[in-house]
């Protein structure tokens, strides 16, 4: 049996591309690390497998399992291999197909995750926020409805509110338990309305976040996503989380200190969906004061990736998270 963790238990909540970096950071800091992952994904390979096999989406689960495995592992790299062509195969990540096969063999999505974790030697746990077959629906800033996680993520205008169907799905008990027993819970970074908020719309997850004695930290994105969060500053991001179930369950917000990104000759600063002007998440004095007025402590720091201003630097963010817990 391995030695007891140095720092205790940590849980990262979210989905998408931001969560794996946080998981690697927490595991590297010596935490017994778990991920609680949204089950609302309906795009790409995950969406196809949901439609064709009636299974829960494996993509975010796969990325988290790989993040908790040895980065140099050939098997981890194989799990991330995406077929570039082939009828029925194009666009699928091999790891998604492995998880689908394991779910069929074991008859259980959670058991499939456990088996995939064993194959990868993952040093942590990946837990769905719910086992319900949920779909995400939104209302945009002008009152128009948008249905489906993938469509919401690429909506033309900013999102005002999202909900799950069916409403109030039951939480996956081990996910809620992991949050309650944690010493540190980190939400984000990740797509605000399509990766983070769907977890909070599971009542048992929101309740666990209110009940835990953990330090609850939100890592605000450094750049807005065209459509989904266009025009939102850091306080708007926090307000959206509070309005969707996190009210009274957030202690700290980590925000990037810069409110503008200088252009670089020869570089095209882009949104996640194409080439265009980068829109940093504003974190000026007024925005930070609005966050603190909600009883949330602000930690302002340089956490941006110097080579990709859409994203966090894992090493910079890791130092900030380490400082929060001593």
| 33-62 residue pLDDT tens | 999 999 999 999 999 999 999 999 999 999
> What pLDDT score does 199 carry?
98
Q: Does residue 4 lie within any of the structural domains? A: no
Residues above pLDDT 70, as percent of the chain: 92
Model pLDDT for residues 83-122, shown as the tens digit of each residue? 999 998 999 999 999 999 999 999 999 999 999 999 999 9
> What pLDDT score does 326 carry?
63
Q: Does residue 154 lie within any of the structural domains? A: yes
> What CATH number is given to the structural domain containing 179?
3.40.50.10680
> What pLDDT score does 296 carry?
98
Model pLDDT for residues 160-169, shown as the tens digit of each residue? 999 999 999 9
In the chain, the number of structural domains is 1
Q: Does residue 142 lie within any of the structural domains? A: yes
Q: Does residue 95 lie within any of the structural domains? A: no
Residue 307 has pLDDT above 90, yes or no: no
Residue 316 has pLDDT above 70, yes or no: yes
> What pLDDT score does 35 carry?
98
Q: Does residue 23 lie within any of the structural domains? A: yes
> What pLDDT score does 72 carry?
87
- 59-to-7, 135, 156, 226 alpha-carbon distances in Å: 29, 16, 24, 22
Residue 211 has pLDDT above 80, yes or no: yes
Nearest-10 Cα torsion for 55, 57, 58, 60: -170
**Contact of 43 with 53, CB cutoff 8 Å:** no
Q: Does residue 209 lie within any of the structural domains? A: yes
Q: What contacts 315, CB < 8 A, 6 or more positions away?
A: none
Nearest-10 Cα torsion for 93, 273, 26, 322: 170
**Contact of 300 with 252, CB cutoff 8 Å:** no
Residue 273 has pLDDT above 50, yes or no: no
Q: Which two tokens stand for residue 158?
A: 């900013």
Q: What is the mean pLDDT of residues 238-246?
A: 96
> What pLDDT score does 157 carry?
83
* β-bridge partners, 218: 187, 253
> What pLDDT score does 275 carry?
46
> What pLDDT score does 263 carry?
42
**Contact of 29 with 318, CB cutoff 8 Å:** yes
Q: Does residue 93 lie within any of the structural domains? A: no
Residue 149 has pLDDT above 70, yes or no: yes
> What pLDDT score does 30 carry?
95
Residue 258 has pLDDT above 90, yes or no: no
- In terms of residue numbers, what domain contains 281? 9-40+132-324
**In terms of pLDDT, which residue wins out, 326 or 138?**
138
Residue 252 has pLDDT above 70, yes or no: yes
Residue 6 has pLDDT above 70, yes or no: no
**Contact of 137 with 165, CB cutoff 8 Å:** yes
Per-chain mean pLDDT for the chain: 91
Output the pTM of the full model.
0.92
Residues above pLDDT 90, as percent of the chain: 82
**Contact of 207 with 293, CB cutoff 8 Å:** no
Q: How far apart are CA 103 and CA 52, in angstroms?
A: 14
Q: Does residue 272 lie within any of the structural domains? A: yes
Q: How far apart are CA 29 and CA 253, in angstroms?
A: 20
Q: What is the mean pLDDT of residues 162-185?
A: 98
Q: What is the mean pLDDT of residues 74-86?
A: 95
| Residue 308 CA from chain centroid, whole number | 18
> What pLDDT score does 3 carry?
46
Model pLDDT for residues 119-145, shown as the tens digit of each residue? 999 999 999 999 999 999 999 989 999
């Amino acid at each position: 049996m391995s030695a007891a963790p140095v720092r205790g238990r940590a849980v990262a909540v979210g989905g998408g591309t931001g969560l794996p970096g946080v998981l690697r950071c927490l595991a590297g800091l010596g935490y017994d690390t778990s991920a609680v992952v949204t089950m609302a994904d309906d795009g790409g390979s995950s969406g196809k497998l949901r439609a064709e096999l009636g299974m829960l989406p494996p993509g975010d689960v796969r990325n988290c399992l790989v993040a908790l495995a040895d980065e140099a592992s050939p098997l981890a790299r194989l799990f991330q291999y995406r077929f570039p062509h082939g009828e029925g195969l194009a666009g699928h990540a091999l790891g998604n197909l492995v998880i689908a096969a394991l779910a069929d063999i074991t008859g259980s999505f959670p058991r499939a995750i456990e088996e995939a974790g064993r194959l990868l030697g993952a040093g942590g746990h990946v837990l769905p926020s719910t086992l319900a077959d949920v779909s995400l629906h939104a209302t945009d800033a002008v009152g128009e409805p948008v249905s489906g996680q993938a469509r919401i993520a690429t909506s033309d205008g900013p999102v005002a509110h999202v909900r799950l169907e069916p409403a109030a799905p039951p939480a996956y008990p081990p996910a809620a338990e992991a949050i309650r027993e944690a010493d540190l819970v980190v939400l984000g970074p990740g797509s605000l309305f399509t990766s983070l908020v769907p977890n909070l719309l599971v009542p048992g997850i929101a309740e666990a976040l209110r009940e835990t004695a953990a330090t609850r930290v939100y890592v605000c994105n450094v750049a807005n996503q065209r459509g989904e969060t266009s025009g939102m500053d850091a306080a708007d991001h926090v307000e959206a989380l509070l309005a969707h179930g996190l009210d009274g369950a957030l202690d700290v917000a980590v925000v990037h200190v810069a409110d503008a990104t200088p252009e670089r000759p020869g570089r095209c600063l882009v949104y996640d969906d194409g080439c265009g002007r980068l829109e940093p998440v504003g974190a000026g004095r007024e925005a930070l004061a609005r966050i603190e007025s909600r009883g949330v402590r602000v930690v302002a720091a340089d956490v941006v990736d110097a080579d990709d201003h859409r994203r966090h630097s894992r090493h910079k963010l890791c130092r900030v998270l380490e400082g929060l817990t001593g």
